[in-house]
Amino acid sequence: MEEPPGATEVVDSVLSALADPTRRHLLDMLAARGEATATTLAERLPVSRQAVVKHLAVLETAGLVSGGRVGREVRYAVRPAALDATARWMASLAAFWDRRLENIKRVAEAAERDSSSTRPE
């Protein structure tokens, strides 16, 4: 499974960021809303605005969200590219294991056929 340069770092960063349930929830909320401020997001969570800002910074570092200033507010929105790269990696990994398991199945079935054909009746 050959990956493009930098793909491993992107996937590692995304998976690390998504390991936290609060960050996954923030990403879901942003995906549903389109964009939102940290204050708006914090109103719907049992954590402080400062905690939300820290979580958003992790998501932004992973390339999952971007923050843009609109007047005095910073509005955050989902950036799908890093998530798409991670999904492609996961699909590639799943396909790799599907092929390996199919090969194991073929070998096991061939061994079973061979052993049944060589058994005395």
Q: Cβ distance 14 to 64 under 8 Å?
A: yes
Q: Where along the chain do its domains lie?
A: 1-121
pLDDT in tens, 14-36: 999 999 999 999 999 999 999 99
The reply to whether the predicted model has a pTM over 0.75 is: no
**Residue 56 neighbours by CB distance under 10 Å:** 24
For the domain made up of 1-121, give the CATH fold: Arc Repressor Mutant, subunit A (1.10.10)
pLDDT bin (cut points 50, 70, 90) of residue 55 is very high
CB 14 within 8 A of CB 85: yes
Q: Which pLDDT value is given to residue 54?
A: 97
Q: For 67-115, write each residue's pLDDT tens digit.
A: 999 999 999 999 988 888 888 888 888 888 889 898 898 889 888 888 8
